[in-house]
């Protein structure tokens, strides 16, 4: 099947736009492979420090004969998705020895749970935790002791941060190893119903707590299709997981054998192996475009509209929201997984999952088939699903979906497009997830109710001030203002207003959760209000029109009137919960469309100085 011409055109544009920065990146990783820090180049004192506590592995580490795998782990046992990783390092060390290698934990990274910090002060450091994770990944790999990297991480900012850090060591082969989703619990639709009842005061906190505990109840990733599971999809469609491994449950024999297979495969794709596949060559322009296609085909988290550009930039690749918008026009939505449907990722996996999805997109010419993957045999291997045979993992052809209510082929999609629109107008430029909103609500025109804090929105709702047609504007929520927290706490409240028959929309320079709800939302608006963006000029009562049909977001106010207004004064920066420690990141961050990263902005500034 030939590639869709729009896919080809977008890829060619990304390649052309990235020519200079990609070349600089490839030159960097080539220099690092030839002359950078590595085990053979360490002085005896350096190496002695690094192997002092290695026990029976010391002899192998001293001779540098086999691959030494550096494990970067995001383990903690507060996050359900990461709790299974506690046992992985010991397993990985055994699996490495089976192929004549060794493994060491190179470093740990912080791993925030956005579910825990949602609506709390800690959410204001959530996005910047991605930069911290990238930095801590670089710290771990900086010792030069490793010929391959196993990365253990799943959720929200963790996978993007791991990849951003590891890409600066892109001469090393790298595999991301998932742990899988928890068993299905309370249906997501019922959980959402209870949340709305609580927002209306119709059920108490005990009932809400029961519902939440029935939803999030065991080890593993949350089962709705939010940012965590979108990350897992992304790593597989980029060829950085082993085929079919994203949604295999934790604490199963198959899950363990997939980890073993990943470590064995890592030994083969190292510089000393038979099939060298460094991370920096696997993550190329085609892989990044494949990531965007996967996001759109599955109706994934809008957070990835920030993370994909950031991960790409770490590899010298520049992709923007116009590219996503143009791909969205030709990539059909093929899944219905909550919040875009009633079923969860376990059901998606059971009816064919990633192998069926990838196979159908390849057949339709909507994925690049020639990307360099970590799997032997290339991207066509990702049509296959892993199974146990005689206690060993083998891969079999997956075939088409067995339930078209959850997963379909491009010839019979749920939607003809990918459900993500770029929104532009006199209020700025942002993102709108049309796939989660009923088409009859794509156009909302109503008076604005303008807030600087999400808590003020909830207070206004409780006081009955929002019981009407309204465009709720929450500004000073961008990365420079307060770290760009998710505003998912507002979803049940706004959904109540919508269910009462009102026309409701949200406009914000902040983020929404990966589980973006059914209320129309224009998010990630830039330039943000904190730096004088147009949202700072809005006033209560201004008519605002949000139209996903046309991709326009506008204040229906004369331009001369807007120009005469003084921008609203930003709220004072907040201390507490460590937020003050992140001031240096808020002061240096770039636009969400570029990835909203302080470290990448500083890196690009340094590169510009070097080339001047």
**What are the binding residues?**
155, 222
Which residues are annotated binding-site positions for [4Fe-4S] cluster?
155, 222
Give SS3 for 502.
coil
CA distance 437 to 431: 13
CA distance 218 to 84: 10
CA dist 263 → 74, 259, 383 (Å): 18, 6, 21
Mention every residue, 6+ apart, whose C-beta is less than 8 A from residue 445: 503, 543, 544, 545, 546, 556
Pair type for strands 102-108 and 68-73: parallel
The helix (run of H) or strand (run of E) holding residue 450 is: strand 443-451
Per the DSSP assignment, residues forming a β-bridge with 497 are none
Give SS3 for 107.
strand
Question: For the chain, how far is it from start to end, CA to CA, in angstroms?
Answer: 45
Pair type for strands 470-474 and 443-451: parallel
Half-sphere exposure of 188 (CA within 13 A, CB side): 22
Q: How many CB atoms lie within 10 A of CB 146?
A: 26
Give SS3 for 553.
strand
Q: Helical H runs in 149-274? A: 158-167, 188-199, 205-215, 227-237, 253-268
CA distance 70 to 263: 11
Pair type for strands 543-547 and 521-526: unpaired
- Total length of the chain: 612
CA distance 456 to 450: 10
CA dist 70 → 64, 120, 134, 149, 159 (Å): 14, 34, 15, 5, 16
**46 burial type by CB count under 10 A (0-12 exposed, 13-18 middle, 19+ buried):** middle
Are 295 and 306 in contact by the 8 Å Cβ rule? The answer is: no
Per the DSSP assignment, residues forming a β-bridge with 451 are 474
């Amino acid at each position: 099947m030939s590639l869709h011409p729009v896919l080809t055109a977008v890829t060619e544009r990304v390649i052309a736009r990235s020519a200079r920065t990609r070349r600089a990146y490839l030159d960097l990783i080539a220099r690092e492979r030839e002359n950078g820090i590595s085990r053979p180049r360490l002085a005896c004192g350096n190496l002695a420090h690094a192997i002092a506590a290695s026990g029976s592995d010391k002899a192998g580490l001293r001779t540098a004969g086999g691959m030494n795998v550096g494990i970067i782990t995001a383990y903690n046992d507060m996050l359900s998705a990461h709790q299974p990783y506690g046992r992985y390092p010991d397993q990985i060390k055994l699996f490495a020895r089976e192929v004549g290698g060794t493994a060491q934990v190179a470093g740990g990274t912080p791993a925030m749970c956005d579910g825990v910090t949602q609506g709390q002060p800690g959410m204001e450091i959530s996005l910047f935790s991605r930069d911290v994770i990238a930095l801590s990944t670089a710290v771990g790999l900086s010792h030069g002791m490793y010929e391959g990297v196993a990365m253990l991480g799943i959720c929200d900012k963790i996978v993007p941060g791991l990849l951003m850090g590891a890409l600066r060591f892109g001469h090393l082969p790298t595999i991301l190893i998932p742990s899988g989703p928890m068993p299905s619990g309370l249906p997501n639709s019922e959980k959402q119903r209870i949340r709305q009842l609580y927002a209306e005061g119709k059920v108490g906190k005990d009932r809400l707590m029961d519902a939440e505990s029935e939803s999030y109840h065991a080890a593993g990733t949350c089962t709705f299709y939010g940012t965590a599971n979108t990350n897992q999809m992304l790593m597989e469609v980029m060829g950085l997981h082993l085929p079919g491994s994203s949604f295999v449950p934790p604490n199963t024999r198959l899950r363990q054998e997939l980890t073993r297979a990943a470590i064995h495969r890592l030994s083969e794709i190292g510089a000393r192996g038979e099939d060298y596949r460094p991370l920096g060559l696997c993550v190329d322009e085609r892989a990044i475009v494949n990531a965007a296609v996967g996001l759109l085909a599955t109706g994934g988290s809008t957070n990835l509209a920030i993370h994909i550009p950031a991960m790409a930039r770490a590899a010298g690749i520049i992709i923007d929201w116009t590219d996503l918008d143009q791909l969205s026009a030709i990539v059909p939505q093929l899944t219905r997984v909550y919040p875009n449907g009633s079923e969860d990722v376990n059901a998606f996996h059971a009816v064919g999952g990633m192998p069926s999805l990838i196979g159908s997109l390849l057949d339709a010419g909507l994925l690049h088939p020639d990307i360099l993957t970590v799997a032997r045999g290339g991207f066509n291997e990702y049509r296959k699903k892993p199974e146990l045979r005689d206690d060993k993992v083998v891969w079999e052809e997956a075939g088409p979906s067995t339930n078209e209510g959850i997963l379909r082929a491009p010839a019979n999609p749920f939607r003809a497009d990918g459900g993500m629109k770029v929104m532009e107008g006199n209020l700025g430029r942002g993102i709108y997830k049309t796939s989660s909103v009923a088409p009859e609500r794509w156009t909302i025109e109503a008076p604005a109710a303008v807030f600087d804090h999400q808590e003020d929105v909830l207070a206004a709702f409780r006081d009955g001030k929002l019981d009407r047609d309204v465009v709720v504007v929450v500004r000073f929520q961008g990365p420079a203002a307060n770290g760009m927290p998710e505003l998912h706490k507002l979803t049940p409240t706004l959904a109540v207003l919508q269910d009462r028959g009102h026309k409701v929309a949200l406009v914000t320079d902040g983020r929404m959760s990966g589980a973006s709800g059914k209320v129309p939302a224009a998010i990630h608006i830039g330039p943000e209000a904190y730096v004088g963006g147009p949202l700072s000029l809005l006033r209560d009562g201004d008519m605002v029109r949000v139209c996903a049909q046309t991709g326009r977001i506008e204040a229906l106010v004369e331009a001369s009137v807007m120009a005469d207004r003084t921008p609203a004064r930003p709220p004072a920066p907040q201390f507490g919960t460590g937020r003050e420690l992140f001031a240096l990141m808020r002061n240096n961050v770039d636009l969400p469309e570029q990835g909203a990263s302080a470290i990448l902005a500083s890196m690009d500034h340094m590169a510009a100085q070097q080339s001047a």
